[in-house]
Chain A
Amino acid sequence: ELQLVESGGGVVRPGGSLRLSCEASGFTFDDYGMSWVRQAPGKGLEWVSGINWNGDSTGYADSVKGRFTISRDNAKNSLYLQMNSLRAEDTALYHCARGGDCTNNICFSGVGFDPWGQGTLVTVSS
């Protein structure tokens, strides 16, 4: 069964940091690009960041560029999102999703994302 399980969310003060993790199972992890997509409470979906199969190309939404860093460890079937300088507007449910591919730091979403993890909630509040 295809599965993505996120962890690492929590409550953090503005300016703080968090590191999200996503563990994949049920497919050959290093065959795929991976992405993070977030959903603010009661709002729609926003692509945040993507990474290619081996981690040597990444991309970011303008809203997080310079503050977030995506990475992966194929030996551990895991995807990560290091989030620094967090702002109130970063409050959201963060989903890990299979799909997308990045080349020269531009990410092509193509046919989108499938499957998605259940998400991990990040709350930025003082």
Chain B
Amino acid sequence: DVVMTQSPLSLPVTLGQPASISCRSSQSLVYSDGNTYLNWFQQRPGQSPRRLIYKISNRDSGVPDRFSGSGSGTDFTLKISRVEAEDVGVYYCMQGTHWPGTFGQGTKVEIK
């Protein structure tokens, strides 16, 4: 299985400051159709996961534009331009290119 490695695993941030989460895959995530199926999910405390971004950088409907995704191949990043209180939670990257789909360990974002 493809191993997804996130860093850091814990990210204390100050409100209004930027935050960045790295995700690396053990194999290239470029699929035969040319797309790269790297997705990001947010899980707020006590809630189910919610998809934020799909195919590296496409935000889901309703996701604030302070969230952005970037990267290519095996190296990807989720950035929050200015952290707000509602962004507290655990963020997971997930690859959907290779079977089975696999998730990173999660990065816990908390307010300092």
Please report A residues at the B interface, Cβ cutoff 8 Å: 37, 44-47, 59, 61, 95, 100, 106-119
Contacts and interface: CB of A to CB of B under 8 A. Distances in A.
Contact of B60 (A106, A114, A117, A118): A114
Q: Which 6 A-B pairs have the closest CB atoms?
A: A109-B101, A109-B96, A112-B39, A111-B54, A114-B51, A116-B48
A118 B50 CA distance: 11
Contact of A115 (B50, B100, B103): B50
A110 B99 contact: no
Q: How large is the interface on B (under 10, 10 to 19, 20 to 34, 35 or more residues)?
A: 20 to 34
Given A109-B37, A111-B39, A112-B94, A45 B99 contact: no
B76 interface: no
B89 interface: no
Given A114-B50, A116-B48, 17 more contacts: A37-B49, A44-B105, A44-B106, A45-B106, A61-B100, A100-B101, A107-B100, A107-B101, A109-B37, A109-B95, A111-B39, A112-B37, A112-B39, A112-B96, A114-B60, A115-B48, A118-B48
B104 to A, nearest CB: 7
Given A95-B49, A116-B48, A119-B48, A108 B99 contact: yes
A45 B48 contact: no
Contact of A111 (B48, B55, B100, B105): B55
B48 A112 contact: no
Contacts of A100: 96, 101
